[in-house]
């Protein structure tokens, strides 16, 4: 078997292979080929891959006869000319937005598998790219906020007077939110957090932060279906807006991460609420690409409203390319190696396996996944 890793598009800094995963593959007798310069954005030199046992070369040679192509983001279908019929394409393929590309992968005879649709179950935890990348994004959102904030995070008692601690509020306590809380605490901020799922209350407390929850109106009991939030009732939304209004006016930093699968991000902060904050405050909206939790947020930009900076954070994991690549590369390797048949020395992806079923988009020239089938 031969696995190919291509240089990603220009906006991407991460790479889907690290020397450690290359060694894991080659130890099984798998041939690994990597396009020249693929690791540049993550500070991995071609020579590092070479030392780990990969062959580094030009795209055509890397793609030729490859049985699997592993990537961070799905490559432009046109850039896969020469790929073998039936080859696996595994990565974050963004199938709901890039439907035409998925059709083109099918037409090219590729077997495309979308890592972001991996079920959030114990068996697949080590393959979960959403968690590995969101965790880094939650950390970086707080670090970015700290660098934009014109004041310090921790309380400092000095001979020249006392510096008050920053007040940081996290809205949405999934993987990114939990890491944002932990990072805010490490930097010495006073942290509070909210979510619609009642199960997160205990998690917030266990990190030493203060839970801010709507009382008396039902939100989402426990973890929510599949661990995810759903839409809350209009009554709950009104109570949440009132609660947030009272709290947000006293906050210096707000990190929003709220997402609902398959829907636009819920709007959590209005322009009037932003106006109630102290000038110099910072809001980082991690849901910017999904429409934003914050009114006036623009994805990929920093906007000033009423003296408050609103950061429309996009793909923050890319700004930590070395760590993000390492985690992503291990997620990919963990998936492939779970389906490696040692005796046959071959990869076997059974049709009836729950992970394969959940992520396989195309097979035999057709789009086969129910969520995107024509």
Contact string 233-272 vs ligand NAD (x = CB under 6 A): ------------------------xxxxx----x-x----
Rounded to whole angstroms, the Cα distance separating 108 from 77 reads: 8
Closest approach of ligand NAD to the CB of residue 81, in Å: 35
47 catalytically annotated: no
Tell me which of 41, 75, 174, 184 binds ligand NAD, using CB under 6 A: 174
Q: Which is nearer to ligand NAD, 261 or 280 (CB)?
A: 261
Closest approach of ligand NAD to the CB of residue 268, in Å: 6
128 catalytically annotated: yes
Alpha-carbon separation of residue 210 from 63, 167, 205, 308, 362 (angstroms): 52, 11, 6, 23, 46
Side-chain half-sphere exposure of 202, counting CA atoms within 13 A: 5
Closest approach of ligand NAD to the CB of residue 230, in Å: 8
The terminus-to-terminus CA distance of the chain in angstroms comes to 32
Phi/psi for 339 (5° steps) reads: -115, 15
Instruction: Name the active-site residue from 126, 228, 270, 276.
Output: 228
Q: Are 191 and 168 in contact (CB under 8 A)?
A: yes
Closest approach of ligand NAD to the CB of residue 126, in Å: 9
Tell me which of 31, 61, 148, 228 binds ligand NAD, using CB under 6 A: 228
> For the sheet containing 68-73, what is the strand order?
55-57, 31-35, 2-5, 68-73, 88-92, 111-114
**DSSP character string of 181-236:** HHHHHHTT-EEEEE-SBTTHHHHHHHTT-EE----SS--B-TT-GGG---PPPHHH
Residues 6+ apart with CB under 8 A from 120: 128, 130, 131, 226, 227, 228
94 catalytically annotated: no
Among residue numbers 178 through 207, which ones bind ligand NAD (CB under 6 A)?
194-197, 200
Q: Are 334 and 300 in contact (CB under 8 A)?
A: no
Among residue numbers 73 through 132, which ones bind ligand NAD (CB under 6 A)?
120-122, 125, 128, 130-131
Rounded to whole angstroms, the Cα distance separating 266 from 257 reads: 10
Among residue numbers 289 through 348, which ones bind ligand NAD (CB under 6 A)?
none
Residue bearing tokens 């974050």: 92
186 catalytically annotated: no
Instruction: Name the active-site residue from 47, 79, 81, 125.
Output: 125
Closest approach of ligand NAD to the CB of residue 258, in Å: 3
Closest approach of ligand NAD to the CB of residue 254, in Å: 12
Q: Which is nearer to ligand NAD, 199 or 372 (CB)?
A: 199
Tokens of 323: 């760590």
Considering only the C-alpha atoms of the chain, give the largest distance between any 2 of them, rounded to a whole number of Å. 73
Rounded to whole angstroms, the Cα distance separating 312 from 304 reads: 11
Q: Which is nearer to ligand NAD, 83 or 196 (CB)?
A: 196
Contact flag: residue 13 with ligand NAD (CB under 6 A):
no
Of residues 95, 101, 25, 94, the one with CA closest to residue 66: 25
Q: Which is nearer to ligand NAD, 260 or 327 (CB)?
A: 260
Q: Which is nearer to ligand NAD, 241 or 347 (CB)?
A: 241
Tell me which of 71, 229, 269, 332 binds ligand NAD, using CB under 6 A: 229
Closest approach of ligand NAD to the CB of residue 260, in Å: 5
Closest approach of ligand NAD to the CB of residue 20, in Å: 22
Q: Are 232 and 220 in contact (CB under 8 A)?
A: yes
Tell me which of 110, 173, 248, 320 binds ligand NAD, using CB under 6 A: 173
Residues 6+ apart with CB under 8 A from 273: 244, 245, 248, 249
Contact flag: residue 12 with ligand NAD (CB under 6 A):
no
Q: Which is nearer to ligand NAD, 220 or 321 (CB)?
A: 220
131 catalytically annotated: yes
Rounded to whole angstroms, the Cα distance separating 328 from 115 reads: 10
Contact flag: residue 134 with ligand NAD (CB under 6 A):
yes
Instruction: Name the active-site residue from 46, 48, 67, 120.
Output: 120
Site residues, ligand NAD (CB under 6 A): 120-122, 125, 128, 130-131, 134, 171-177, 194-197, 200, 223, 227-229, 232, 257-261, 266, 268
Could you give the residue numbers annotated as active site? Answer: 120, 125, 128, 131, 228
């Amino acid at each position: 078997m031969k696995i190919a890793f291509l240089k990603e598009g220009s906006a991407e800094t991460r790479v889907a292979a690290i020397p450690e995963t290359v060694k894991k593959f080659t130890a099984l007798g798998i041939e690994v080929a990597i396009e020249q310069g693929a690791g540049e954005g993550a500070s991995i030199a071609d020579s590092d891959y070479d030392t780990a046992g990969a062959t580094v070369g030009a795209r055509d040679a890397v793609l030729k006869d490859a049985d699997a192509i592993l990537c961070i983001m799905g490559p432009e279908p046109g850039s896969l000319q020469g790929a073998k019929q039936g080859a696996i394409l595994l990565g974050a393929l963004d199938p709901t937005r890039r439907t035409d590309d998925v059709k083109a992968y099918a037409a090219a005879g590729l077997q495309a598998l979308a890592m972001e649709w991996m079920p959030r179950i114990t068996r697949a935890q080590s393959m979960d790219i959403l968690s590995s990348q969101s965790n880094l994004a939650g950390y970086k959102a707080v670090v970015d906020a700290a660098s934009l904030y014109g004041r310090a995070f921790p309380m400092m008692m000095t001979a020249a007077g006392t510096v008050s601690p920053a007040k940081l509020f996290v809205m949405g306590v999934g993987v990114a939110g939990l890491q944002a809380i932990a990072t805010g605490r490490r930097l010495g901020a006073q942290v509070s957090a909210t979510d619609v799922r009642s199960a997160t209350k205990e998690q917030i407390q266990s990190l030493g932060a203060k839970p801010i929850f709507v009382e008396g109106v039902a939100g989402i009991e426990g973890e929510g279906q599949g661990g995810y939030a759903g839409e809350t009732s209009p009554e709950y939304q009104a109570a949440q807006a009132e609660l947030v209004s009272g709290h947000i006016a006293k906050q210096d930093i707000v990190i929003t991460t709220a997402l609902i699968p398959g829907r636009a991000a819920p709007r959590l902060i209005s322009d009037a609420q932003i106006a109630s904050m102290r000038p110099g405050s910072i809001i980082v909206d991690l849901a910017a690409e999904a429409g934003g939790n914050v009114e006036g947020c623009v994805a990929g930009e920093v906007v000033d409203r009423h003296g408050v900076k609103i950061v429309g954070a996009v793909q923050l994991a890319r700004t930590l390319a070395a760590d993000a690549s390492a985690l992503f590369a291990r997620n990919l390797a963990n998936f492939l190696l779970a389906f490696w048949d040692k005796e046959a020395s071959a990869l076997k992806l059974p049709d009836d396996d729950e992970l394969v079923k959940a992520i396989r988009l195309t097979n035999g020239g057709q789009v086969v996944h129910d969520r995107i089938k024509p």
